[in-house]
């Protein structure tokens, strides 16, 4: 593993690291914030999955998670959103290919050679982190924004014993019924929509739900509301009697100004689930 950078941050360390991924068959980069408590022993982990066009850097710089994470003693992992590199398939559109992995394992050419983000986040990266850093991998939580909110919800429902809590900011909530989803799931997974179901948070909420608490924040002035379909997820949560909260935040849009406004709430929510407060 290559250390790209390490900076002191709220008495902890904000690092950026690069490694050769066997799952994605290319080099992958991620950010990791270690709070000051990590100097004394292993600390719990919060995963932050980013949205379309983002890299590991967007949330690391803009979301404002580190200050509260340092107070409660929680590490924060900022993975990239897709495989990247000259040999990795891409598309001219911003919402397909590099920067738009959708947290699935692609089965269709040309994507299947590298686009295996489900297994990368689900297995390879946590194994690597646990072996290299002072992290308590028995205590994990997950959050994300937009495409990353979709990934956080579906990964939590697909790995039911791994996360103590899950939250999302403006998630792509019902991708099989949206242009932000049908295009990408069809390209990556093929035309059989039965194979899309594990990657649709609304369908999974209706079918299996979660045994852990959920927090979802959505801005009422989000310019992408018709693509995100938050009402479908809210209805599914209510129908399942899901332990959780769906909040429509008046006046907020889809930007990192929205995410950073409510990030402290989400970190504290996960800290409570992880027994840190």
Whole-angstrom distance, CA of residue 214 vs CA of residue 158: 15
Catalytic residue at 222?
Answer: yes
Residue entry with tokens 């897709």:
82
Closest CA to 266 of 84, 144, 184, 90: 144
Whole-angstrom distance, CA of residue 74 vs CA of residue 94: 33
Question: Do 257 and 219 meet the contact criterion of CB atoms below 8 Å apart?
Answer: no
Both tokens of 165, joined, read 């809590």
- Three-state DSSP string of 76-123: EEEECCCCCCCCCCCCCCCCCECCECCCCECCCCCHHHCCEHHHHHHH
Residue entry with tokens 């983000």:
117
Q: Which of 174, 254, 266, 270 is catalytic?
A: 254
**Residue 39: partners with Cβ closer than 8 Å, 6 or more residues away:** 134
Q: Which of 145, 200, 222, 266 is catalytic?
A: 222
Query: How many Cβ atoms sit within 10 Å of the Cβ of residue 186?
Result: 15
Distances (CA, A) of 266 to 27, 47, 104: 30, 12, 24
Residue entry with tokens 């002072």:
134
Catalytic residue at 91?
Answer: no
Whole-angstrom distance, CA of residue 172 vs CA of residue 150: 5
- Strands 12-21 and 43-49, how do they pair? unpaired
Closest CA to 267 of 107, 120, 67, 117: 67
Catalytic residue at 146?
Answer: yes
Q: Which of 146, 165, 167, 178 is catalytic?
A: 146
Catalytic residues: 146, 222, 254
């Amino acid at each position: 593993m290559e250390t790209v950078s390490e900076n002191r941050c709220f008495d902890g360390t904000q690092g950026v690291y690069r490694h050769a991924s066997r799952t994605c068959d290319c080099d992958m980069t991620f950010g990791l914030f270690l709070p000051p408590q990590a100097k004394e022993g292993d600390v719990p982990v919060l995963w932050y999955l980013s949205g379309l066009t983002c890299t590991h850097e967007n949330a690391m710089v803009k979301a404002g998670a580190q200050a509260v994470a340092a107070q409660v003693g929680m590490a924060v992992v900022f993975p990239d959103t897709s495989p990247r590199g000259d040999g990795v398939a891409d598309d001219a559109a911003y919402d397909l290919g590099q920067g738009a992995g959708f947290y699935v394992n692609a089965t269709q050419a040309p994507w299947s050679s590298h686009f295996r983000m489900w297994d990368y986040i689900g297995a390879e990266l946590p194994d690597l982190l646990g072996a290299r850093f002072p992290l308590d991998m028995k205590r994990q939580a997950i959050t994300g924004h937009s495409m990353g909110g979709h990934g956080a919800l579906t990964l939590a429902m697909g790995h039911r014993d791994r996360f103590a809590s899950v939250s999302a900011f403006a998630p792509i909530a019902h991708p099989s019924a949206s242009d932000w989803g049908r295009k990408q799931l069809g390209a990556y997974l093929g035309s059989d929509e039965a194979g899309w179901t594990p990657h649709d948070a609304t369908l999974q909420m209706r079918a299996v739900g979660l045994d852990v608490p959920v927090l979802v924040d959505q801005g009422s002035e989000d310019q992408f509301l018709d693509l995100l379909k938050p009402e479908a997820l809210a209805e599914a949560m209510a129908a399942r009697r899901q332990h959780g909260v769906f909040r429509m935040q008046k006046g907020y849009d889809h930007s990192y100004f929205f995410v950073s406004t409510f990030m402290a709430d989400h970190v504290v929510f996960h800290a409570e689930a992880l027994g840190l407060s």
